Every structure is written in C-alpha cells, then in structure tokens.
Amino acid sequence: MFISEAYAQSAPAAAGGAESTLISLLPLVLMFVVLYFIMIRPQMKRQKEHKAMIEALAKGDEVVVAGGLVGRIARLGDTVLHVEVADGVEIQVQRPSVLQVLPKGTFK
C-alpha cells in the first residue's frame, strides 16, 4: 500500500559497439604517443650521440670516465682504452665508460 511495486527494466541496447571500443582505447594510444615523444625518443637520441662520441675517440683526447676520473687517452684498443690519469699512471677502461670528451688543455 505505501510501497510501490518495482519492475525490472532491460538494459538499453548498445549502439555502435565498435565505435565505443575505439573511443575507450583512445586514451591508451594517446598516452603511448606522449610517452614516446617525451621519454623514448630523447633517450634514443642520447644513445646515438654517445655511440658516435665513443667511435670518434682518438689518442690524446681528454676524457671523463664513469667513475669521475679525468685523464688523457694514451692507447686505444677495440674495446679497452688506456687513460693516463697522472704522470706514469694509466688505467684501463672500457670504451662505453667514457662519459664526456673535454676540450683540449683541460687536463694538465
């Protein structure tokens, strides 16, 4: 008497099922595109520049290695460099551990 009867209603038919799927995937695709341009592409560019720098190393170049040591390249090998860090003191480092090539005259 005080409570009205409730009747179950059927769900409305989904119109454009393929269209709604594409719209729901749009944010995911957009996030991937933004991620590519903000993170992946610049990292690939840095790797390419580092590889070119490593290949262009020559005897006498002044470099900074991964441990923060500064020295002059005394000898070159295919995978190993001999870096002179002081008079008569040479260390062996792998080529990829060179972080930066310094301007001539920086290391004395």
Which range marks the domain in which residue 26 is found? 17-56
Distance (Å, whole) CA 78 – CA 55: 10
* Residue 90 included in any domain: yes
Q: What letter would DSSP give residue 82?
A: E
101, 61 contact by CB (below 8 A): yes
pLDDT digits 0-9 by tens, 32-71:
999 999 999 999 999 999 999 999 999 999 999 998 999 9
Q: Is there a domain that residue 9 lies in?
A: no
Residue 105 lies in a domain: yes
- 88 in the same domain as 49: no
Asked whether the beta carbons of 90 and 74 are under 8 A apart, the reply is yes
B/e letters for 77-106, b = 16+ CB within 10 Å, e = fewer, are eeeebbbbeeeeeeeebebebbeebeeeee
> Pick the residue with more confidence: 1 or 91?
91
Same domain, 62 and 103: yes
Q: Given this model, what pLDDT does residue 6 score?
A: 72
